[in-house]
Structure 1
Amino acid sequence: MVTATGRVALVTGASSGIGAATARLLAARGMRVVVNYLHSEAAAEEVVAGIGEAGGHALAVQADVRESAAVENLIEQVQAQWGGVDVLVHNALTPYAIKSFQDMTWKELGGKLDDEMRAAFTVTKAVLPTMTAQGWGRIIYIGTGLSRRPRAGMIALGTAKAALAQFARYLAQELGPWAITVNVVEPGPVEDTRIAGVLDDGIKRRQVAATPLGRLALAGDVAQAVAFYASEDNSFMTGTTAAVNGGMAMY
């Protein structure tokens, strides 16, 4: 078994927000990090450059993780550079509608469910051969507290992420014999992400007031939970969910 310094971590959707913070932290802890992005090449390269300046190792690779051919190409690039993927952090967020169920079409709800599960299925399938062959792996999915606590207009995202969480539990049960752990990190509202931009100041103030720790999460707070699940220290936690919400919801 190699040390954390030899591990290769793939972080999907890593050009900004939680993904970028996670990529930086894993690199700081000695992993070689694949910074996956869909459109934001400049932002992804900026993350890679920052990791390099800090003494770490990173590689930016474009891929739509919903597409099997694109993911296969991504894995081929990683294998050519560093070998297989030891740690998967699936963070990429596919688009979704923010509206009530009564105003929503099946294409909007069903499309989000399909995108969410297709991406998780595709990228997980691609990394498993290395993990099962070596008898070690870490898989972490980024969920959302909305999968447990509904909020107006968020039925598409909340429902899709609830499906992802159950998918993770089934994988944890199946992959345990290979010493592959599968866990979910469920943030509450996060200050420096795209979704934060659609919330008005009144909603944010109410969210802070409902949080015992007195502030909303930062991307770095979420990255810390991900980094634990990705580490050698996490040898006996699988099928679990970490709620990173400052106590806004306790379960």
Structure 2
Amino acid sequence: MSRVAVITGASRGIGAATAQVLAQQGFRVVVNYRSSAEEADEVVAAVSASGGQAVAIRADVTVPGDVAAMVDETIGKWGRVDVLVHNALIPYDVTSFVDLRWEQLGDKLERELRAAFLVTKAVVPDMMSRNYGRLIYLTTVLSRQPRQGMITLGTAKAAMDQFVRYVALELAPHGITANLVSPATVADTTANALLEATEIHQLGATNPMGRLVRPEEVAKSVAFLASADSAFTTGHCLEVNGGLAMN
């Protein structure tokens, strides 16, 4: 029986790599996108060319109706949702606290938690009905280790991290796991659009492994948490950072 995975923000970067890795492992994958229809179709085509099954579904993960429609379409097509990978990037501002306005922080907090809440609420009932599910959320080390200018992203992700732990606690008796994956800066131009080229180079140079993490490396870590082998792992954060931060 092929499992079904919904991957938000899957038209490029980590999401696209995750779609391809999961498809290679036999998952049927939903490539969610908000505005990059052409890129999402390219991911679906790549999965299909490799013998996998994928479909692209447009949805803004901060809009309740969009999220509900995406999950309904998935269940209508493939009967269920076994795995949620919440990877969609919610925009944020790079700024110091001195220059920070409440609207910048409040908007990022609200939209980050709204998206995590909506996608989780949408898939959990089906998972509970079958006593099986894997919930995986992409976070950042900035939620635990501050870096100059990243107060909006780090604060919002810290709130999401705690939300995931509460979800993990409540859903554990139902055979549903909820975990976080925390990559270091990824070698992906879209994810790094707010950083200067010199900053990106410096981040790679200061990593103990001397480079940025690759999207496919993050995807393979996600794939473990999406698998049946991770059944007794829940409420944890899996670091993929080359030794940059050690707990």
- The TM-score with structure 1 as length reference comes to 0.95
SS in 1 for 2:181: strand
Where does structure 1 lack aligned partners over 5 or more consecutive residues? Answer: none
Superposed CA RMSD in Å reads 1.1
Q: Distance in 1 between matches of 2:157 and 2:31?
A: 22
1:193-208 counterparts in 2 under 5 A? 193-208=189-204
2:162 aligned partner: 166
SS in 2 for 1:220: helix
**Counterpart contact for 1:15–1:43, Cα < 8 Å:** yes
1:100 aligned partner: 96
* Structure 2 counterpart of 1:51, from 35, 47, 53: 47
* Structure 1 counterpart of 2:183, from 184, 187, 192: 187
Q: Distance in 2 between matches of 1:119 and 1:132?
A: 20
* 1:193, distance to aligned residue in structure 2 (A): 4.2
**Counterpart contact for 1:135–1:179, Cα < 8 Å:** yes
* Structure 2 counterpart of 1:137, from 124, 133, 136: 133
**Counterpart contact for 1:187–1:243, Cα < 8 Å:** yes
1:30 aligns with 2:15: no
Query: For residues 43-78 of structure 1, what are the alpha-carbon distances to aligned partners after superposition, in whole Å with 9 as ceiling and x for unaligned?
Result: 000000110000000000000111111111111211
SS in 2 for 1:149: coil
* 1:122, distance to aligned residue in structure 2 (A): 0.4
1:225 aligned partner: 221
Letter in 2 for 1:59: V
SS in 2 for 1:35: strand
Query: For residues 86-120 of structure 1, what are the alpha-carbon distances to aligned partners after superposition, in whole Å with 9 as ceiling and x for unaligned?
Result: 10000001111111122121111000000000000
**Percent of pairs with identical residues:** 52
2:80 aligned partner: 84
Letter in 1 for 2:219: A
**Counterpart contact for 1:87–1:139, Cα < 8 Å:** yes
* Structure 1 counterpart of 2:151, from 150, 155, 159: 155
The count of corresponding residues between Structure 1 and Structure 2 is 247
1:13 aligns with 2:9: yes
**Counterpart contact for 1:193–1:219, Cα < 8 Å:** no
* Structure 2 counterpart of 1:127, from 111, 114, 123: 123
SS in 1 for 2:70: helix
**Counterpart contact for 1:90–1:140, Cα < 8 Å:** yes
* 1:200, distance to aligned residue in structure 2 (A): 3.0
Letter in 2 for 1:103: D
**Counterpart contact for 1:18–1:193, Cα < 8 Å:** no
Letter in 1 for 2:99: D
Where does structure 2 lack aligned partners over 5 or more consecutive residues? Answer: none
CA distance 1:193–1:136, change in 2 (3 Å): farther
Letter in 2 for 1:157: L
* Structure 2 counterpart of 1:62, from 38, 58, 61: 58
Query: For residues 168-227 of structure 1, what are the alpha-carbon distances to aligned partners after superposition, in whole Å with 9 as ceiling and x for unaligned?
Result: 111110000011010000111111142323333432343233222221101111101100
Q: Distance in 2 between matches of 1:208 and 1:72?
A: 39
SS in 2 for 1:60: strand
Q: Distance in 2 between matches of 1:201 and 1:66?
A: 30
Q: Distance in 2 between matches of 1:154 and 1:130?
A: 36
1:238 aligns with 2:228: no
Q: Distance in 1 between matches of 2:197 and 2:60?
A: 33
